[in-house]
């Protein structure tokens, strides 16, 4: 039986390509199935509080190239652990019932959730409580289990690589060590790809704890060889051997309260103190998540959205669209929810980085 009324929401952090997915899902179902689409505003918050907008043909036209999401999003809203401030304190409650009631009030046949690992984890909880859901994996971090690629990743890598290219010229001119801290949370995919794309001299990722002396020696060695500058690409989750990740702050009530950040400045200060080489740090931060998606992500996001619409039409709920072995596929959300896909130590790109002389700090 064809799905006639479908809800759509975007959860977690914003990401280039979200609007491309919304457009593909909506236009496919409206054009081919004459379905009605209901967009929930600000992620799961809209589902709990019943805040919506229609996603007709006109609403999703001319949004393919736009960054962000026309629906808005939230990386703190979780129906199962709804956080509210009462008497100056954060208290949590289970408002899954409100989310389900909203779903039923709109007489929906199913819900398409576009989000990362946290959003898929929440989707898994709602599936267990009876909601028919299809997932579309999203994140610049490329860390969703069950897919080898997420849309938004290539756009973030392009921004990071361009920044590293620009740091290269000023590092060379001033004979400095330039440290660029990139996003990625607990996975080093952005750092790995951006470092290789830009020819960074030192690459530090969460999966491989670094040794301080190895990093210092790599910088000194370049000076001895007449190369009077170094480029260091460090993932925000990188940590020294036997040490911990650098936490910028915590957000009480968030599904993932830890906000990483600060390892870049720590790295630059430590290198300068240990080696005497002038060092500077640049934190790329949110610029990696903003702006127009690159062409690859527009095409990829459109493909994922089309596949999600096809799954909805076929009534194949509980599945997440994925990209595996060079083709579109889908996996059970319950099999992949609540996990993080990190860089495996046998990843070929790590071997390639080492082969061209990049130090991994190990």
Predicted local distance difference test score (pLDDT) of residue 298: 97
**CB contact at 8 A, 321 and 330:** yes
Element at 269 (helix H, strand E): helix 263-275
Predicted local distance difference test score (pLDDT) of residue 253: 64
**CB contact at 8 A, 74 and 122:** no
**CB contact at 8 A, 263 and 245:** yes
Q: Hey, what are 105's tokens?
A: 């009030």
What is the residue whose two structure tokens read 């756009």? Answer: 155
Helix (H, G, I), strand (E, B) or coil at 162: helix
In angstroms, what is the C-alpha Rg of the chain?
22
| pLDDT per residue as tens digits for the range 275-288 | 999 999 999 999 99
Q: Is 182 exposed, middle or buried (0-12, 13-18, 19+ CB in 10 A)?
A: buried
**CB contact at 8 A, 320 and 336:** yes
**What is the rounded distance in angstroms from the CA atom of residue 356 to the CA atom of residue 193?**
14
5-151+293-336 under CATH 3.40.50.450, yes or no:
yes
Residue count of the chain: 362
**CB contact at 8 A, 41 and 72:** yes
**CB contact at 8 A, 362 and 163:** no
pTM, two decimals, is 0.93
Predicted local distance difference test score (pLDDT) of residue 2: 59
Helix (H, G, I), strand (E, B) or coil at 212: helix
**What is the rounded distance in angstroms from the CA atom of residue 293 to the CA atom of residue 333?**
26
Domain with CATH 3.40.50.460 in the chain: 156-289
Q: Hey, what are 18's tokens?
A: 């979200």
**What is the rounded distance in angstroms from the CA atom of residue 171 to the CA atom of residue 182?**
18
Helix (H, G, I), strand (E, B) or coil at 193: helix
CATH superfamily of 156-289: Phosphofructokinase domain (3.40.50.460)
What is the residue whose two structure tokens read 């190895």? Answer: 214
Helix (H, G, I), strand (E, B) or coil at 2: coil
Predicted local distance difference test score (pLDDT) of residue 125: 95
Q: Give the count of beta carbons closer than 10 Å to the beta carbon of residue 100.
A: 17
**What is the rounded distance in angstroms from the CA atom of residue 149 to the CA atom of residue 152?**
9
**What is the rounded distance in angstroms from the CA atom of residue 205 to the CA atom of residue 190?**
9
Q: Which residues carry out catalysis?
A: 141
What is the residue whose two structure tokens read 């952090």? Answer: 13
Which DSSP state fits 197? H
Domain with CATH 3.40.50.450 in the chain: 5-151+293-336
Give whole-number Cα distances, 77 to 17, 70, 119, 224, 268, in Å: 21, 17, 10, 53, 36
Predicted local distance difference test score (pLDDT) of residue 333: 96
**What is the rounded distance in angstroms from the CA atom of residue 120 to the CA atom of residue 145?**
10
362 residues of the chain, pLDDT tens digit each: 556 899 999 999 899 999 999 999 999 999 888 899 999 999 999 999 999 999 999 999 999 999 999 999 998 899 999 988 888 788 889 999 999 999 999 999 999 999 999 999 999 999 999 999 999 999 999 999 999 999 999 999 999 999 999 999 999 899 999 999 999 999 999 999 999 999 999 999 999 999 999 999 999 999 999 998 999 999 999 999 999 988 888 766 666 777 788 999 999 999 999 999 999 999 999 999 999 999 999 999 999 999 999 999 999 999 999 999 999 999 999 998 788 999 999 999 999 999 999 999 99
């Amino acid at each position: 039986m064809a799905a006639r009324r479908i809800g759509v929401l975007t959860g977690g952090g914003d990401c280039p390509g979200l609007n491309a997915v919304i457009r593909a899902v909506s236009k496919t179902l409206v054009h081919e199935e004459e379905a009605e689409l209901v967009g929930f505003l600000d992620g799961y918050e809209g589902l709990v509080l019943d805040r919506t907008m229609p996603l007709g043909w006109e609403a999703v036209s001319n949004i393919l190239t736009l960054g962000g999401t026309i629906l808005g999003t939230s990386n703190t809203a979780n129906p199962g652990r709804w956080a509210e401030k009462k008497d100056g304190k954060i208290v949590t409650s289970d408002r899954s019932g409100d989310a389900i009631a909203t779903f039923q009030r709109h007489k929906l046949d199913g819900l398409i959730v576009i989000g990362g690992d946290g959003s898929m984890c929440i989707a898994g909880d709602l599936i267990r409580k009876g909601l028919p859901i299809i997932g579309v994996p999203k994140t610049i971090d490329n860390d969703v289990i069950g897919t080898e690629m997420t849309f938004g990743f290539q756009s973030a890598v392009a921004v990071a690589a361009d920044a590293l290219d620009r740091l290269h010229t000023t590092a060379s001119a001033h004979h400095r060590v330039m440290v660029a801290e990139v996003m990625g949370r607990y996975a080093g995919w952005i750092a790995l790809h951006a470092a290789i794309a830009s020819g960074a001299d030192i690459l530090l990722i969460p999966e491989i704890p670094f040794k301080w002396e190895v990093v210092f020696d790599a910088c000194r060695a370049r000076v001895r060889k007449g190369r009077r500058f170094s480029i260091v690409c460090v993932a925000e989750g990188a940590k020294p051997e036997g040490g911990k990740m650098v936490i910028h702050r915590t957000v009480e009530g968030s599904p993932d309260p830890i906000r990483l950040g600060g390892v870049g400045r720590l790295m630059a200060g430590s290198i300068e103190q240990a080696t005497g080489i002038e060092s500077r740090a640049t934190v790329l931060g949110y610029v990696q998540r903003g702006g127009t998606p690159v062409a690859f992500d527009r095409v990829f996001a459109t493909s994922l959205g089309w596949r999600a619409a096809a799954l909805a039409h076929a009534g194949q709920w509980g599945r997440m669209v994925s990209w595996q072995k060079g083709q579109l596929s889908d996996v059970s959300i319950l099999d992949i929810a609540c996990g993080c896909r990190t860089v495996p130590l046998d990843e070929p790109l790590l071997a390639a980085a080492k082969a061209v002389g990049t130090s991994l700090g190990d």
